[in-house]
């Protein structure tokens, strides 16, 4: 009998070992998976009760957790909510996270592996887990200038430091107040969410990075870059520029905005064509270069790939397989060409940085609560879009646009500005999109900017990129240059 | 096989009551520390009820200890402290979930249910009283053999009691409760004790017949077909429990115990195979037919398929606890939909969340100690009835712990068995204290010197200790 009892004793141990092994699998190996589940209320509640790190510009917090005496220990507070909402996003109990709050979540809540040592110290010294501070590249003055400039309008502005790719300003209007979503009064949060999501003006759309618009004539910079890079053109090359350009396979000709030829000539130089933003000239250049060359050039500026992972920006597009008339339309930024204001700012920034497009980024550095640097973003080159020679030719042409052409409202006294206007028609019954993209100073660029106005609430004939968007771009550049 | 050929382990006759007292003090200290810790983290103060709790658990443990000292001096010294520790930690966790439920009710503006921890201490007291009764009244476990068939009958009656109309209560789909005078009881907990006595007494008599070999098949001695009667009856009864009371856990427990004892009595592995196949077949058919079994199986295969399921919420709690746990009082064991199940069926998940993998494994090891000390008692016991009884009681803990802990941690489908000594519930606690008393009574006999101890040299002691 004893041998049977001994066997049962072994069997009992095996049963207990199975329990221990299963619990080990669950609590040691599978725990991360389970903790990461969306329906895990414990984790969500707990995250809402930890001292989440601030989001900073310089040393000034634009989002921080303040102690609160309600069901959670901390209330996420946004000091200039709507102004920075497209960047910070929100941190909501009911609706999760967005923007930097989403992308930098593990740093902000302190759970990131890079903060593991910090956490151990916190445990030993019996302190509550503290999140790290995330410093952004934004320039508060530029952000303010863009936000004020777009007041009362529907649109977006993005400013980039062309030499590094740092995002200096990123604004989308109309905006929303993330404080309303971070509130601990969950009924109010629900009502605000409904208000924001049902508003026809879509205040929660990030027009700067997550929405696509026809770039219109600002895309002519890409067409010009492709032309100059092909070796078959220089700034003085004469191109066909009649008032109407007949297109193959269609009876509808391409027409200039003013229904005249280009600067008084049917064969204007590329420089003159850009100065006056002549559709027929760039349509014919586009036809000669072909869609593939245009697409390749566009991709070198960053089209076709998602930029700025911090905000999950969408990829700008050049149509996949346009026929010749569609190619001509695409060359002037119409048809199916779609771009974010961020992308058009990158085009200007690439030209400004001698053709080297820097990878745009928003997170300057991550620091622990006691100001030790955890990580710092190093500038990275994305693509060499054009050669330095072509970049310098383009710069000269863009300076000419601002000094003598459609971009005059973008001029800054004492500083040479290089820019390009755009006015994209989409449908007869909706106002066109007004664009302006520029950089300054032309000889040593400190800032590249793109401004897009979707709906300015002004009479239709008043709309032109130069008149509407350029002054805003100008004030953003002035803010960066300290003027 | 006869008694003569059964090896009896040589045990050095020492009472070890001093060791037991030391272990008891540690068990009480750990429990009280847990209780105070919970008060400090949840309410920022030493709970006012600490005195009541410490005195309650401490005094009861010491009374049990004194009873052993005077009436069963050679009883195993490890089992009582282990049971006290589990009981004490259980009450502490019940108190912790009480606090959590109270806070949740305050936040929601509703009225909290009264605290369950004082109730559990009262049940502990009743349990210890029954413990004393068993130790004092049952002076020799062999006397229980006379009640073999009475115990069997009582066990069966207790088993079917919840099916009596007007008496039984349906809780969570399982009909294993009865309501009497405004209180709920789980008669199955005492049925377990009665049935083990019955199985042991019955097998002592029938083991020789059941040992007769029938056919040899694949190297196994299969029993004769005409001897299959008892196992088929046990199988039928346990299937009845499964079908009519919808309680897979109890069904598995009763049938498993019978099988284990049959195996120990006959040493024929063939019985295990036949029994295992019978149970697997029954469970498989049940899983095809009954929706409540199907639900348990699908919850086991994919615990996260529904948001806010009990098992998934419990697993999230354990994951949240990780290696070291959130700390006592710092988890969310009362989170919906677990709520007060965090102190009953899912109490082990509550420990997993707050004490982490480390604490959970420690608790499982304490259970393992009780089980293995119980089986050790069976090895040392000199009579067959006692061997079978001790084996059955020890294995009842093993099966119960495996089924309920395995169920809430997702190892096997969840079935409703109580977590011995820890889970909130009076009947189970009292029955478990009676079982522990019986095991200790047998161990007293097993460890007691048969003849007045002859003086032994240190060398023999050393050799015997090694042999152990």
Interface contact flag, B405 A26, Cβ < 8 Å: no
Let me know: does A418 contact A212? Beta carbons within 8 Å: no
Q: What is the DSSP string of B181-246?
A: TTEEE-HHHHHHHHHHHHHHHHHHHHHHHHHSEEEEETTEEEEPGGGGHHHHHHHHHHHHHHHHS-
Give residue B296's pLDDT: 84
Give residue A298's pLDDT: 94
CA A264 and chain centroid, separation: 39
pTM of the model: 0.69
Query: Does pLDDT of B221 surpass 70?
Result: no
CA angle A351, A353, A357 (to 5 degrees): 75
Least confident of A140-149, A273-282, A340-349, B387-396: A273-282
In chain B, residues with a C-beta closer than 8 Å to the C-beta of A184 are none
Interface contact flag, A26 B265, Cβ < 8 Å: no
Least confident of B57-61, B195-199, B294-298: B294-298
Give Rg (Cα) of chain B: 23
Give residue A306's pLDDT: 93
Which among A4, A29, A123, A124 is the top mutation candidate for probing chain B, defined by the most B β-carbons within 10 Å of its own β-carbon?
A4
Question: Measuring CA to CA, which residue among A251, A337, A235, A347 is closest to residue A291?
Answer: A337
Please state, in angstroms and rounded to a whole number, the distance separating the CA atoms of residues A108 and A55.
Answer: 8
The residue-averaged pLDDT of B172-194 equals: 78
Query: Does pLDDT of B449 surpass 90?
Result: no
Distance from CA of B210 to the nearest CA of A (A): 14
Give residue A460's pLDDT: 56
Beta carbons within 8 Å of A372's beta carbon, 6+ residues apart: none
Q: Report residue A427: phi and psi, to 5°.
A: -125, 155
- Residue whose structure tokens are 């007949």: A246
What pLDDT, in 10s, does the model give residues A91-118? Answer: 988 888 899 999 998 888 887 877 777 7
In chain B, residues with a C-beta closer than 8 Å to the C-beta of A128 are none
The residue-averaged pLDDT of B344-354 equals: 94
- What the block records as the tokens of A369 is 């609560």
Distance from CA of B419 to the nearest CA of A (A): 14
Respond yes or no on whether the N-terminal peptide bond of residue B177 is cis (omega within 30° of 0): no
Is residue B109 within 8 angstroms of chain A, CB to CB?
Answer: no
A252, exposed or middle or buried, with CB in 10 Å at 0-12, 13-18, 19+? exposed
The residue-averaged pLDDT of B406-419 equals: 90
Interface contact flag, B318 A12, Cβ < 8 Å: no
Picking from A23, A35, A71, the nearest residue to B320 by CB comes out as: A35
The residue-averaged pLDDT of B426-445 equals: 95
Interface contact flag, A40 B320, Cβ < 8 Å: yes
The residue-averaged pLDDT of A199-211 equals: 93
- Residue whose structure tokens are 């100008």: A474
Give residue B220's pLDDT: 64
Distance from CA of A64 to the nearest CA of B (A): 25
Query: Between B65 and A38, whose confidence is greater?
Result: B65
What pLDDT, in 10s, does the model give residues B90-109? Answer: 999 999 999 999 988 887 78
Give residue B234's pLDDT: 76
Is residue B401 within 8 angstroms of chain A, CB to CB?
Answer: yes
Is residue B268 within 8 angstroms of chain A, CB to CB?
Answer: no
Ramachandran class of A375: left when φ > 0, alpha when ψ lies in -120 to 50, beta otherwise: beta
Let me know: does B94 contact B87? Beta carbons within 8 Å: no
Distance from CA of B367 to the nearest CA of A (A): 9
Distance from CA of A122 to the nearest CA of B (A): 14
Is residue A330 flagged as an active site residue? no
What is residue A210's DSSP assignment? S
Please state, in angstroms and rounded to a whole number, the distance separating the CA atoms of residues A346 and A363.
Answer: 17
Question: Measuring CA to CA, which residue among A85, A213, A75, A80 is closest to residue A155?
Answer: A213
Highest mean pLDDT among B301-315, B353-367, B406-420: B353-367
Cβ atoms < 10 Å from Cβ of A415: 16
The residue-averaged pLDDT of A472-482 equals: 93
* Nearest chain B residue (CA) to A8: B260
Is residue B364 within 8 angstroms of chain A, CB to CB?
Answer: yes
The confidence band for B3, taking pLDDT boundaries of 50, 70 and 90, is very low
Give residue A177's pLDDT: 96
Interface contact flag, A30 B319, Cβ < 8 Å: yes
Distance from CA of B63 to the nearest CA of A (A): 30
Give the ipTM of the model, two decimals please: 0.91
What pLDDT, in 10s, does the model give residues A164-191? Answer: 999 999 999 999 999 999 988 888 999 9
Interface contact flag, B323 A27, Cβ < 8 Å: yes
Is residue B7 within 8 angstroms of chain A, CB to CB?
Answer: yes
Please state, in angstroms and rounded to a whole number, the distance separating the CA atoms of residues A269 and A299.
Answer: 26
Q: What is the DSSP string of B268-332?
A: -HHHHHHHHHHHHHHHHHHHHH-HHHHHHHHHHH-TTSSTT-HHHHHHHHHHHHTTT-S-TTSS-
Picking from A1, A37, A71, the nearest residue to B264 by CB comes out as: A1
Query: Does pLDDT of A247 surpass 90?
Result: no
Beta carbons within 8 Å of A262's beta carbon, 6+ residues apart: A241, A242, A256, A268, A272, A273, A276, A278, A280, A281
* Nearest chain A residue (CA) to B309: A39
| HSE toward the beta carbon, residue B446, CA cutoff 13 A | 29
CA B176 and chain centroid, separation: 16
Query: Does pLDDT of B454 surpass 60?
Result: no
Query: Does pLDDT of B157 surpass 80?
Result: yes
Query: Does pLDDT of B451 surpass 70?
Result: no
The β-bridge partners of A424 are A433
What pLDDT, in 10s, does the model give residues A53-64? Answer: 999 998 899 999
- Give me chain A's average pLDDT, please: 89
Q: Is B60 helix (H, G, I), strand (E, B) or coil?
A: helix
Least confident of A202-206, B160-164, B243-247, B372-376: B243-247
Q: What percent of chain B has pLDDT over 70?
A: 88
Least confident of A75-89, A138-152, A385-399, B234-248: B234-248
The answer for B 176-235 residues in CB contact with A (under 8 A) is: none
Picking from A3, A6, A35, the nearest residue to B319 by CB comes out as: A35
Query: Does pLDDT of B2 surpass 50?
Result: no
Query: Does pLDDT of A147 surpass 90?
Result: yes
The confidence band for B174, taking pLDDT boundaries of 50, 70 and 90, is low
What pLDDT, in 10s, does the model give residues A410-469? Answer: 889 889 999 998 887 766 667 788 899 999 899 999 999 999 998 766 655 545 677 888
Q: What is the dotted CATH code of the domain comprising A216-362+381-481? A: 3.40.710.10
- Give me chain B's average pLDDT, please: 86
Interface contact flag, A12 B320, Cβ < 8 Å: no
The β-bridge partners of A420 are A437
Give residue A444's pLDDT: 93
Query: Does pLDDT of A249 surpass 90?
Result: no
In chain B, residues with a C-beta closer than 8 Å to the C-beta of A28 are 322-323, 357
Interface contact flag, B315 A26, Cβ < 8 Å: yes
CA distances from B124 to B61, B178, B182 (A): 10, 20, 20
Q: Which helix (H) or strand (E) holds B123?
A: helix B117-137
The answer for B 309-338 residues in CB contact with A (under 8 A) is: 315-323, 331-332, 335
CA angle B267, B269, B274 (to 5 degrees): 130
Distance from CA of A106 to the nearest CA of B (A): 16
* Nearest chain B residue (CA) to A32: B319
Give residue B468's pLDDT: 45
Alpha helices by DSSP H, A239-322:
270-276, 279-289, 291-300
Interface contact flag, A27 B319, Cβ < 8 Å: yes
Interface contact flag, B308 A3, Cβ < 8 Å: no
Highest mean pLDDT among A191-200, B298-307, B413-422: A191-200
Interface contact flag, B402 A15, Cβ < 8 Å: yes
Q: Which helix (H) or strand (E) holds A245?
A: strand A244-245
Is residue B264 within 8 angstroms of chain A, CB to CB?
Answer: yes
Which is the catalytic residue, given A217, A229, A277, A316?
Answer: A217
Interface contact flag, A27 B357, Cβ < 8 Å: yes
Query: Does pLDDT of A399 surpass 50?
Result: yes
The confidence band for B1, taking pLDDT boundaries of 50, 70 and 90, is very low
The residue-averaged pLDDT of B414-438 equals: 92
Ramachandran class of B182: left when φ > 0, alpha when ψ lies in -120 to 50, beta otherwise: left
Interface contact flag, A26 B318, Cβ < 8 Å: yes
Give residue A371's pLDDT: 78
């Amino acid at each position: 009998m004893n041998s049977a009892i001994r066997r049962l004793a072994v069997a009992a141990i095996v049963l207990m070992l199975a329990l221990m092994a299963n619990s080990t699998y669950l609590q040691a190996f599978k725990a991360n998976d389970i903790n990461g589940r969306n329906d895990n209320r414990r984790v969500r509640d707990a995250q809402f009760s930890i001292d989440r790190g601030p989001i900073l510009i310089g040393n000034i917090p634009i989002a921080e957790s303040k102690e609160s005496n309600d069901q959670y220990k901390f209330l996420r507070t946004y000091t200039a909510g709507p102004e920075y909402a497209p960047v910070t996003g929100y941190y909501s109990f009911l609706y999760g996270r967005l923007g930097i709050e989403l992308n930098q979540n593990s740093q902000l809540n302190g759970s990131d592996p890079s903060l593991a040592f910090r956490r151990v110290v916190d445990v030993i010294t019996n302190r509550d887990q503290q999140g790290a501070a995330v410093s952004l590249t934004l320039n508060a003055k530029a952000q303010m200038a863009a936000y004020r400039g777009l007041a009362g309008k529907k649109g977006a502005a993005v400013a980039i430091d062309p030499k590094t790719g740092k995002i200096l300003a990123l604004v989308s209007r109309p905006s929303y107040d993330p404080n309303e979503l971070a509130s601990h009064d969950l009924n109010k949060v629900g009502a605000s969410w409904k208000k924001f999501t049902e508003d026809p003006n879509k205040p929660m759309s990030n027009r700067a990075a997550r929405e696509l618009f026809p770039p219109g004539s600002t895309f002519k910079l890409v067409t010009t870059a492709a032309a100059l890079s092909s070796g078959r053109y220089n700034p003085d090359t004469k191109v066909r520029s009649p008032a109407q350009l007949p297109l193959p396979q269609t009876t509808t000709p391409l027409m200039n905005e003013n229904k005249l030829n280009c600067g008084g000539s049917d064969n204007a130089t590329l420089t003159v064509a850009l100065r006056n933003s002549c559709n027929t000239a760039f349509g014919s250049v586009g036809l000669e270069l072909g869609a593939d060359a245009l697409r390749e050039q566009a991709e070198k500026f960053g089209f076709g790939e998602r930029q700025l992972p911090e905000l999950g920006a969408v990829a700008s597009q050049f149509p996949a397989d346009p026929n010749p008339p569609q190619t001509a339309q695409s060359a002037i930024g119409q048809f199916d060409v779609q771009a974010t204001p961020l992308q058009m700012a990158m085009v200007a920034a690439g030209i400004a940085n001698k053709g080297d497009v820097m990878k745009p980024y928003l997170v300057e550095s991550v620091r622990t609560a006691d100001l030790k640097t955890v990580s710092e973003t190093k500038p990275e080159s994305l693509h060499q879009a054009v050669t330095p020679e072509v970049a310098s030719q383009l710069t000269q042409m863009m300076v000419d646009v601002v000094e003598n052409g459609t971009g005059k409202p973008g001029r800054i006294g004492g500083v040479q500005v290089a820019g390009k206007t755009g006015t994209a028609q989409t449908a007869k019954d909706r106002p066109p999109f007004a664009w302006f993209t520029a950089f300054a100073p032309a000889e040593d660029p400190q800032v590249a900017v793109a401004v897009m106005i979707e709906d300015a609430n002004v009479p239709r004939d008043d709309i032109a990129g130069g008149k509407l968007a350029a002054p805003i771009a100008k004030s953003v550049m002035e803010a960066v240059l300290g003027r | 096989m006869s008694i003569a050929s059964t090896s009896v382990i040589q045990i050095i006759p020492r009472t070890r009551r001093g060791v037991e007292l030391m272990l008891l003090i540690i068990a009480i200290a750990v429990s009280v520390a847990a209780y105070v810790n919970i008060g400090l983290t949840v309410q920022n103060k030493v709970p006012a009820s600490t005195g009541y709790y410490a005195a309650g658990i401490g005094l009861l443990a010491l009374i049990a200890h004194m009873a052993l000292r005077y009436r069963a001096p050679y009883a195993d010294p490890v089992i009582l402290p282990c049971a006290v520790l589990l009981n004490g930690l259980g009450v502490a966790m019940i108190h912790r979930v009480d606090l959590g439920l109270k806070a949740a009710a305050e936040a929601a503006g509703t009225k909290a249910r009264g605290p369950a921890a004082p109730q559990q201490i009262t049940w502990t007291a009743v349990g210890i009283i029954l413990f004393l009764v068993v130790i004092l009244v049952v002076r020799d476990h062999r006397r229980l053999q006379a009640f073999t068939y009475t115990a069997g009958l009582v066990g069966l009656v207790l088993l079917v009691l919840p099916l009596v109309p007007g008496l039984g209560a349906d809780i969570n789909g399982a009909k294993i409760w009865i309501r009497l005078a405004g209180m709920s009881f789980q008669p199955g907990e005492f049925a377990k004790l009665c049935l083990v006595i019955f199985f042991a007494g019955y097998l002592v008599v029938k083991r020789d017949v059941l040992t007769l070999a029938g056919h040899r098949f694949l190297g196994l001695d299969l029993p004769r077909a005409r001897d299959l009667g008892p196992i088929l009856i046990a199988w039928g009864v346990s299937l009845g429990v499964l079908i009519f009371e919808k309680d897979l856990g109890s069904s598995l427990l009763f049938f498993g115990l019978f099988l284990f004892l049959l195996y120990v009595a006959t040493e024929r592995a063939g019985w295990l195979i036949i029994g295992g196949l019978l149970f697997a077949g029954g469970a498989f058919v049940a899983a095809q037919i009954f929706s409540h079994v199907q639900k348990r199986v699908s919850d086991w295969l994919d615990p996260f398929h529904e948001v806010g399921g009990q098992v998934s919420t419990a697993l999230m709690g354990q994951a949240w606890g990780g290696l070291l746990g959130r700390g006592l009082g710092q988890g969310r064991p009362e989170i919906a939909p677990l709520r007060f199940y965090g102190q009953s069926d899912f109490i082990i998940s509550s420990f997993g969340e707050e004490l982490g993998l480390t604490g959970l494994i420690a608790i499982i090891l304490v259970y393992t100690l009780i089980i293995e000390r119980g089986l050790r008692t069976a090895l040392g016991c000199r009579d067959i009835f006692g061997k079978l009884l001790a084996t059955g009681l020890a294995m009842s803990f093993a099966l119960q712990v495996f089924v309920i802990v395995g169920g809430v941690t997702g190892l096997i489908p969840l079935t409703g068995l109580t977590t011995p000594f820890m889970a909130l519930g009076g009947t189970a606690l009292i029955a478990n204290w009676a079982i522990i008393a019986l095991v200790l009574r047998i161990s007293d006999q097993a460890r007691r010197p048969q003849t007045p101890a002859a003086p032994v040299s240190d060398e023999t002691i050393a050799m015997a200790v090694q042999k152990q």
